[in-house]
Structure 1
């Protein structure tokens, strides 16, 4: 009996030790820190001026230089990321009502099933600090409170785009402003504190930090007008980079305009005075990013102090890019040029190669499923998600739902456009288009169909600055494949977005790439496809306006409808095109509302506080009168000047 007891005890001890050894050998779920800036370019060298970003991320991680936003404007791009979907599936296609904004996001129920909730289901504590999306305001900050966050501290409109007036709502509580502070510094302090709160917990965290920089600042005049101005740096950075200029790439303010679509072709060459102003705006963007860069250094130091850096993925990206003078453009985004859609995507963490540049093709809607794959939470990603898993690590290279191999769509809907920082300038030509990008080792194409019926095709492998539209000089074999690809991607859903060729070649699963499809034996197959066309130039997504639809995409497809006079054949033919180049009729902010805004002081220059002091002592409740007065900010053009 004695030996039996001893044997049993030894067996239990051995089992315990084996279990402990196995537990220690199995790494815990990784932490994830996601730093997400606003309007930061990947093509104009901005990351080169961020020393902490270079030290901690570029040198210790991988740059994914073929990462893209599929709609180049703030709110739709952020929702696309949060939901893992194209904008044509979220139906958030603008920055403000009626086709965009936080109220529409909530009304459509998009916040009931999205990234932070999936991360919580995967066992993570979730935290969000900074800008969430347009139209999250002092009036609707808790109507509803954003779901899925254990801790949230978000910027609220109408103060989001004012650098020296930092206004936040924490955890759905009434907003407060931080008197005499610089907004990015407050975000920095809140982010570091959020990390510090992870010191005594083993639960993995997902921390999303979203500074507004280097977005331009909104300026509200005493007459109630709203304009944009360049980014405002912290006072300590205001005199940096005095001799820096926008890179003078071949597409910068060219002597001869080479872009052919109506949106571009009539832009006049910028004079020397405007070029100097654009250079200064560029310098201000770099200066505003310095406070972000300081935050990066501080957050890495905190991760190192906690001993969690080796088990943390740190990701750096932006909602969309930005153009300044390219193809004679005034400041802004919203176009399909590389400066607007190609965004930084830099990753550091376990299994990520150091100091590497990757050519893997990916988009913002791929980020959510990728984060869940890193978190070992694939089962929480809904089947309707359009994105796939980016092969950041060797393990993810074998994931059953990978990103699209080489292609993605870029889309936009607008009947007018305005230049940021230049309110009197109207961009002629509607800005509604569908673009398909196809990138591989052997080719790099950008193919666009505009609502005006115009086409652009650029071979970016030989022409990276989009100087030579080869649409009219390209063999029909290539054009036919790209036409078919855009028909699928313009309205794709879920796995059709990740593998569009299976829709184009349903009976031949061997076709996975454009190169596969270009074989001459498929030439006849492509003669059957209709050409993609818009019915008219509309400012929102309408499936019936973008033809043909899959299922009726062959030329010989005819749908019969019954009329009083009998059956009538109806073809997917374009309707008359409409061009609305007028600016919206915007009101000035009336005096009584201006009076409410002035209840929050707006210092010319924000003071600097030490991270070691209690920054909350600077917080002051937003006056209740402003919270209780419902204001439709879009009515005054608040989001039409560069959100």
Structure 2
């Protein structure tokens, strides 16, 4: 009970200095469970009985929920800010284009979800993985804002299952000797939930286990190097799923490669040995998720024991999806295939339909405004937020700022595709920079991608759910459809705020009735759409640059006089389009003054140490032996007894872990 007493003592002192802006009458509690790299497309949820019992059977599965950037840190920041990555300008997991220090340099942590919820009267808790580059050296510089209690994983040990290292409330980091990381999160989260027993204020509890992400490990040969490997499970789960294999669907390691943009056309069919490796990786991922599933069961038991279950929304999701052999790609994420961008979203709570599967379309940047709507805190959502409210309940269906009805973009910037794990670490040559449009409705299910190489892809997922037939150059595709897709993607390419929620309004500013692709396909708009510029990149860059992607205007500049009888346009329409585009850029600049900077110097210069010294420092925190760790979930007392301070030499070192491969080994 030591951890619980510590939590209660902390809140007893904190309550005297925390100003609650809005009364907490009848506000629901919110529990957000957020895993790392968990797929929605290759059946991982089918092996989680507690998730099925408490969430799937008692809530709604939203099968059309997406990450708009398929990699950890950018996706998490997109969720925290309610913005596309082109507006946060966090486009990588590490410097110079991503990571915790850039997140703070851009001021993103001064105006984000936990602070908005705090204004709405919530007590906020965060336990687990926050984002990359939150380290043993910068854990309190600054401490993440807006949390009443936080206990985060710190790098370079975030991706080590048997070396669990945390910083609690900005205190010096500690490690938990011979304790499985997910079990540490389990015990800490349960303690935080128990601390709510005698409280009436609503709480927001975000728990973020690292599973089923892969892990870093030092070479056993003299600690000379670091490599990545599939996730490892708690010892009590190591025997499970010995015969399970990746579902063999048509896009798994196909004999004929039908995706041909950029690096895809260079991928050879995987060998039998590689497929065997991937099957074992799949089993490892399922085993690692079992400790998460046990935690889910414990949290529901505690909510029920407190009598708070009926007034709590429980949301389950993941930062991005994952592929394993799909379209011949080995293991990883960052692509625009459905396995990487379609992520789990399950919601249970007051007013949410039970045992239901929904086709409602949503994305991660919609979660923040939706949570604020549940918290009755709409007034605290800034105008710069790109997302809208997802209709989880009847009340939310009537919200004045709904999420985009059917349309969103997926974006990425990088030099190549990375394969995870040691046997296929080096990916194929070919850039991984693209913009992708998804249109999902009762009538359409389209994926349209434009690559910085000038290549295009168009898949009709109603007819071709596994993305096996690129119909971009097919005779069956009419130019009228391509014109609409190009136009709306050109808006979403640089959208901000309301224009992201309804990109059609940018194209048809005087016609509120056009909100879908079907509306826009009316032939009377053919001339208008024919005149839109085609989306393109000036060059292939590994980061977002507005000048590399934004056209000077959305429309070509020829006179419209001869076509004005075909459709209604504002006077001087091309000039209007230029003004609209300039307005979007200005909105983005105001929402984050420095976000258009694409290359920056670090404020804190890490101390340069040799690779050997970096690995020696890493090894100062002992790695546990797999067979000895995770036989049971520790009690609070056991966890407290296992806590050890991280050696001060390591804390003071300020090592540039990126330079020593601690993120590039995953390519994430």
State the TM-score, normalizing by the size of structure 1: 0.90
Larger-gyration structure (1/2): 1
Q: Distance in 2 between matches of 1:40 and 1:30?
A: 27
Q: Distance in 2 between matches of 1:463 and 1:227?
A: 37
Q: Distance in 1 between matches of 2:529 and 2:635?
A: 65
Using the TM superposition, give the Cα deviation of residue 552 of structure 1 relative to its aligned residue in structure 2, in angstroms. 4.4
Secondary structure in 2 matching 1:279: helix
477, 498, 503: which one aligns with 2:501: 498
Q: Which residue of structure 2 aligns with residue 635 of structure 1?
A: 659
Q: Which residue of structure 2 aligns with residue 241 of structure 1?
A: 241
- Are the aligned partners of 1:223 and 1:589 in contact in 2 as well (CA < 8 Å)? no
- Compared CA separation, residues 372 and 101, structure 1 to 2 (3 A): same
Q: Distance in 1 between matches of 2:625 and 2:609?
A: 23
Using the TM superposition, give the Cα deviation of residue 296 of structure 1 relative to its aligned residue in structure 2, in angstroms. 0.1
Secondary structure in 2 matching 1:346: strand
Using the TM superposition, give the Cα deviation of residue 613 of structure 1 relative to its aligned residue in structure 2, in angstroms. 4.8
Q: Distance in 2 between matches of 1:441 and 1:128?
A: 38
- Are the aligned partners of 1:40 and 1:46 in contact in 2 as well (CA < 8 Å)? yes
Q: Which residue of structure 2 aligns with residue 428 of structure 1?
A: 429
| Greater CA drift, 279-288 or 611-620 | 611-620
622, 631, 635: which one aligns with 1:601: 622
Q: Which residue of structure 1 aligns with residue 21 of structure 2?
A: none
Secondary structure in 1 matching 2:276: helix
Using the TM superposition, give the Cα deviation of residue 604 of structure 1 relative to its aligned residue in structure 2, in angstroms. 2.0
CA displacement 1:147-185 (0-9 Å, x = unmatched): 000000000000000000000000000000000000000
Show the 5 A alignment for 1:410-425: 410-421=410-421, 422-425=423-426
Q: Which residue of structure 2 aligns with residue 258 of structure 1?
A: 258
Q: Which residue of structure 1 aligns with residue 170 of structure 2?
A: 172
Q: Which residue of structure 2 aligns with residue 346 of structure 1?
A: 346
Q: Which residue of structure 2 aligns with residue 592 of structure 1?
A: 613
- Compared CA separation, residues 502 and 610, structure 1 to 2 (3 A): closer
Is residue 2:186 matched to residue 1:188? yes
Q: Distance in 2 between matches of 1:43 and 1:329?
A: 15
Is residue 2:286 matched to residue 1:283? no
CA displacement 1:454-505 (0-9 Å, x = unmatched): 0000000110100000000111011000000110001100000001001111
Q: Distance in 2 between matches of 1:29 and 1:512?
A: 33
Using the TM superposition, give the Cα deviation of residue 589 of structure 1 relative to its aligned residue in structure 2, in angstroms. 5.8
Q: Which residue of structure 1 aligns with residue 381 of structure 2?
A: 381
Q: Which residue of structure 2 aligns with residue 323 of structure 1?
A: 323
Q: Which residue of structure 2 aligns with residue 86 of structure 1?
A: 84
Q: Which residue of structure 1 aligns with residue 44 of structure 2?
A: 46
Is residue 2:558 matched to residue 1:556? yes
Using the TM superposition, give the Cα deviation of residue 27 of structure 1 relative to its aligned residue in structure 2, in angstroms. 6.7
CA displacement 1:321-378 (0-9 Å, x = unmatched): 0000000011000000000000000000000000000000000000000000000000
Using the TM superposition, give the Cα deviation of residue 590 of structure 1 relative to its aligned residue in structure 2, in angstroms. 2.1
Using the TM superposition, give the Cα deviation of residue 220 of structure 1 relative to its aligned residue in structure 2, in angstroms. 2.5
202, 210, 213: which one aligns with 2:211: 213
CA displacement 1:284-320 (0-9 Å, x = unmatched): 0000000000000000000000000000000000000
- Are the aligned partners of 1:181 and 1:609 in contact in 2 as well (CA < 8 Å)? no
Q: Which residue of structure 1 aligns with residue 523 of structure 2?
A: 520
Using the TM superposition, give the Cα deviation of residue 607 of structure 1 relative to its aligned residue in structure 2, in angstroms. 4.4
Secondary structure in 2 matching 1:596: helix
Q: Distance in 1 between matches of 2:111 and 2:424?
A: 38
Q: Distance in 2 between matches of 1:226 and 1:407?
A: 41
CA displacement 1:544-592 (0-9 Å, x = unmatched): 111425x443253999xxxxxxxxxxxxxxxxxxxxxxxxxxx996222
Q: Distance in 2 between matches of 1:71 and 1:493?
A: 16
Question: CA RMSD of the aligned region, Å?
Answer: 1.5
- Are the aligned partners of 1:365 and 1:386 in contact in 2 as well (CA < 8 Å)? yes
Q: Which residue of structure 2 aligns with residue 583 of structure 1?
A: none
- Compared CA separation, residues 632 and 85, structure 1 to 2 (3 A): same
160, 163, 166: which one aligns with 2:161: 163
- Are the aligned partners of 1:225 and 1:588 in contact in 2 as well (CA < 8 Å)? no
Secondary structure in 1 matching 2:321: coil
Q: Distance in 2 between matches of 1:224 and 1:497?
A: 48
Secondary structure in 2 matching 1:186: helix
CA displacement 1:577-618 (0-9 Å, x = unmatched): xxxxxxxxxx99622222222211111212445444511111
Secondary structure in 2 matching 1:265: helix
Q: Which residue of structure 2 aligns with residue 391 of structure 1?
A: 391
Q: Distance in 1 between matches of 2:342 and 2:106?
A: 28
Q: Distance in 2 between matches of 1:604 and 1:279?
A: 24
Q: Which residue of structure 2 aligns with residue 121 of structure 1?
A: 119
Please list every run of 5 or more consecutive structure 1 residues that lacks an aligned counterpart in the other structure. 1-25, 560-586
Q: Which residue of structure 1 aligns with residue 460 of structure 2?
A: 459
Q: Which residue of structure 1 aligns with residue 438 of structure 2?
A: 437
Using the TM superposition, give the Cα deviation of residue 228 of structure 1 relative to its aligned residue in structure 2, in angstroms. 1.3
How many matched pairs? 590
CA displacement 1:440-466 (0-9 Å, x = unmatched): 011100000000000000000110100
Q: Distance in 2 between matches of 1:313 and 1:284?
A: 30
- Compared CA separation, residues 108 and 238, structure 1 to 2 (3 A): same
- Are the aligned partners of 1:223 and 1:588 in contact in 2 as well (CA < 8 Å)? no
Show the 5 A alignment for 1:102-121: 102-121=100-119
Q: Which residue of structure 1 aligns with residue 26 of structure 2?
A: 28
- Are the aligned partners of 2:263 and 2:416 in contact in 1 as well (CA < 8 Å)? no
Please list every run of 5 or more consecutive structure 2 residues that lacks an aligned counterpart in the other structure. 1-23, 560-573, 576-607
- Compared CA separation, residues 629 and 511, structure 1 to 2 (3 A): same
Q: Distance in 1 between matches of 2:609 and 2:303?
A: 47
Q: Which residue of structure 2 aligns with residue 204 of structure 1?
A: 202
- Compared CA separation, residues 424 and 195, structure 1 to 2 (3 A): closer
- Are the aligned partners of 1:530 and 1:555 in contact in 2 as well (CA < 8 Å)? no
Using the TM superposition, give the Cα deviation of residue 223 of structure 1 relative to its aligned residue in structure 2, in angstroms. 5.3
- Are the aligned partners of 1:417 and 1:431 in contact in 2 as well (CA < 8 Å)? yes
CA displacement 1:400-433 (0-9 Å, x = unmatched): 0000010000000001232101355322210000
Q: Which residue of structure 1 aligns with residue 310 of structure 2?
A: 310
Using the TM superposition, give the Cα deviation of residue 75 of structure 1 relative to its aligned residue in structure 2, in angstroms. 0.2
| Greater CA drift, 418-427 or 468-477 | 418-427
Q: Distance in 1 between matches of 2:633 and 2:184?
A: 10
Q: Which residue of structure 1 aligns with residue 67 of structure 2?
A: 69
Q: Which residue of structure 1 aligns with residue 144 of structure 2?
A: 146
Q: Distance in 2 between matches of 1:461 and 1:142?
A: 49
- Compared CA separation, residues 486 and 610, structure 1 to 2 (3 A): closer
Q: Distance in 2 between matches of 1:638 and 1:127?
A: 28
